């Protein structure tokens, strides 16, 4: 086990001061220098790819495939996109043409917010470090990174490599646990990005409020799955189970529980058993647990996580229909499916964040929607259905950070789309231009020529009735006519049948007139 060296408390203030001095040099305002930093970040990851794979395996036993697919390839792709797109992201925006204003040349410039704090979690210790770094570096900020102490090997690797590849005047690392994080949060920052639990997210938001610091929070939560009667049960079972398999369920958008419609439940459970058997079979390792070899399944991050998940399994009143193996020494909980779970079960309280999948039966989709809307807004919502009306219904009647139909987890990798929560699952966005915008201040400006005073002569005191009339003539609001009533909410165009009735009457009258003329 790698021993992570914590940053001395008395060094944290100095690091913040050093970053402020680095930002004040102005070098990060250069787009060329920002692209250089981004490229250096990309090559840091590419040239040390194997070391990151090894470090993550040391931290949580994660298989090579998952680290490559769910972290490294996506991170490199997003860095490449940022380098290629930065010039367009940072381009000043001009105000829409308006005759009264165009001569004053109004526009908006994209400027870095300043010195920012990025606090990242253990579960994806590459991707969830790289994504906010992309946004902050692209925006031209100086960054203090606080990686998770729970992923000690990976955090130690970041600490070693970042000063070798990135400008230490602009990027520094602080390692530690609660005391070090507390000290960081006592300081003033120009933006804070935090990914982790809701409980700590509230602490971060409260600390930031003391300095009126803007915050981006990604907090996870219980992400539900709805399996409708119109779904393909085999596809739903295979993909939902995969979402719980990956990283041993330690994924913020992992399916947390399944609401399956009664009519398809038996077929769905049958397919879950088949997929479980396929996922856990033929490991070739006689010492493996539940058929899961050390190279194919992650373990939980630490003993506290093991104790929490084990406690849930001991308290549940549901029936384990697949998996359930545990090894306290290895912090191992096998992929576990629990059927017959009630809405008040021990598995339905807090986010599970582990390889346990509870399955609940509902009569219909409306019951599933009502249950989801009765809790906190989830970070992700998954719907397995082939009926378009069902998809539209769930989309229109729920709110979540992200949503996927007939798929799980990988929607986060779609290029150009933001990643963020809503309500208790967080606020603000990462990825691409949305991440750039999070660390950017949009500063508006105007450059008004002297002759404008001949046009806006009426704005100067003393105010008179003549000046008021002149102002009102020039500053017309252009507001459309007042509506005659509320619009129809059933999707039909307002007054549509009346318009067609008028057209029909006109055509009929015209036809009658032509007939009379011929006679």
> Which of 66, 218, 339, 351 is labelled catalytic?
218
Going through 255-379 in order, the beta strands assigned E by DSSP cover 255-261, 319-322, 326-327, 332-333, 336-339, 356-362
* Strand arrangement, sheet containing 440-445: 93-94, 107-112, 440-445
> Which of 66, 252, 271, 339 is labelled catalytic?
252
3-state helix, strand, coil in the chain (%, to 5): 50, 15, 35
The DSSP code for 248 is G
Q: Does the annotation count 328 as an active-site position?
A: no
Q: How many helices (H) and strands (E) does the chain have?
A: 18, 18
Which two tokens mark 166? 């990135």
**C-alpha span between 473 and 295 (Å, rounded):** 75
Pairing, β 171-173 against β 142-146: parallel
Q: Does the annotation count 3 as an active-site position?
A: no
Pairing, β 171-173 against β 107-112: unpaired
The b-or-e profile of 342-358 (16+ CB within 10 A means b, else e) is eeebbbbeebbbbbbbb
Cα Rg of the chain, angstroms: 29
Pairing, β 332-333 against β 380-384: unpaired
* Helix/strand/coil for 100: coil
Do 341 and 358 contact (CB within 8 A), yes or no?
Answer: yes
Q: How many CB atoms lie within 10 A of CB 448?
A: 13
Residue with tokens 């330690």: 250
The b-or-e profile of 109-140 (16+ CB within 10 A means b, else e) is ebebbbbbbbbbbbbbbbbbbbbbbbbbbbbb
**C-alpha span between 94 and 3 (Å, rounded):** 52
Q: Which of 376, 476, 465 is nearest to 424 (CA)?
A: 376
Do 383 and 402 contact (CB within 8 A), yes or no?
Answer: no
Residue positions annotated with a catalytic role: 218, 252
């Amino acid at each position: 086990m790698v021993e992570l060296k914590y940053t001395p408390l008395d060094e944290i203030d100095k690091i913040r001061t050093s970053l402020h001095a680095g930002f004040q040099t102005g070098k990060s305002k250069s787009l060329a220098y920002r692209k250089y930093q981004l490229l250096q970040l990309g090559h840091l990851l590419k040239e040390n790819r194997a070391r990151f794979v090894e470090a993550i395996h040391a931290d949580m036993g994660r298989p090579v495939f998952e680290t490559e697919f769910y972290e490294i390839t996506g991170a490199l792709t997003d860095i490449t996109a940022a380098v290629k797109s930065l010039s367009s992201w940072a381009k000043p925006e001009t105000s829409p043409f308006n005759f009264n204003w165009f001569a004053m040349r109004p526009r908006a410039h994209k400027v870095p917010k300043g010195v920012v704090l990025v606090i990242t979690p253990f579960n994806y210790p590459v991707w969830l470090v790289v994504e906010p770094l992309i946004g902050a570096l692209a925006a031209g900020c100086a960054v203090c990174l606080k990686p998770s102490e729970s992923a000690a090997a990976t955090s130690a690797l970041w600490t070693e490599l970042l000063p070798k590849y990135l400008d230490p005047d602009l990027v520094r690392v602080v390692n530690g646990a609660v005391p070090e994080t507390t000290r960081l949060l006592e300081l003033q920052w120009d933006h804070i990005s935090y990914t982790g639990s809701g409980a700590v997210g509230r602490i971060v938001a409260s600390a930031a409020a003391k300095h009126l610091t803007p915050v981006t929070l990604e907090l996870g939560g219980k992400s539900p799955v709805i399996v409708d009667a119109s779904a393909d049960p085999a596809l739903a079972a295979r993909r939902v189970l995969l979402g719980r398999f990956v990283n041993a369920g330690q994924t913020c958008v992992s399916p947390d529980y399944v609401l399956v419609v009664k009519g398809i439940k038996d077929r769905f459970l049958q397919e879950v058993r088949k997929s479980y058997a396929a996922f856990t079979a033929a490991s070739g390792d006689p010492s493996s647990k539940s058929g899961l070899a050390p190279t194919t399944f992650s373990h939980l991050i630490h003993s506290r996580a093991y104790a929490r998940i084990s406690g849930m399994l001991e308290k549940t009143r549901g029936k384990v229909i697949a998996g359930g193996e545990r090894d306290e020494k290895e912090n191992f909980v096998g992929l576990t499916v629990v059927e017959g779970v009630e809405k008040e079960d021990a598995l339905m309280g807090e986010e599970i964040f582990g390889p346990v999948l509870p399955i609940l039966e509902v009569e219909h989709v409306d019951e599933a929607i009502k249950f989801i809307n009765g809790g906190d807004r989830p970070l992700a919502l998954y719907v397995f259905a082939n009926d378009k009306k069902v998809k539209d219904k769930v989309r229109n009647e729920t709110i979540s950070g992200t949503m996927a139909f007939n798929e799980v987890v990988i929607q986060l990798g779609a290029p150009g789309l933001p990643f963020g929560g809503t309500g208790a699952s967080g606020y603000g966005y990462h990825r691409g231009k949305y991440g750039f915008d999070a660390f950017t201040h949009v500063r508006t400006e105007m450059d008004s020529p002297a002759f404008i005073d001949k046009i806006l002569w009426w704005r100067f005191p003393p105010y008179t009735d003549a000046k008021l009339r002149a102002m009102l003539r020039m500053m017309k609001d252009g507001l459309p006519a007042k509506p005659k009533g509320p619009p129809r909410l059933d999707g039909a165009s307002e007054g549509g049948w009346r318009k067609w009735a008028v057209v029909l009457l006109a055509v009929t009258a015209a036809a009658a007139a032509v007939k009379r003329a011929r006679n």
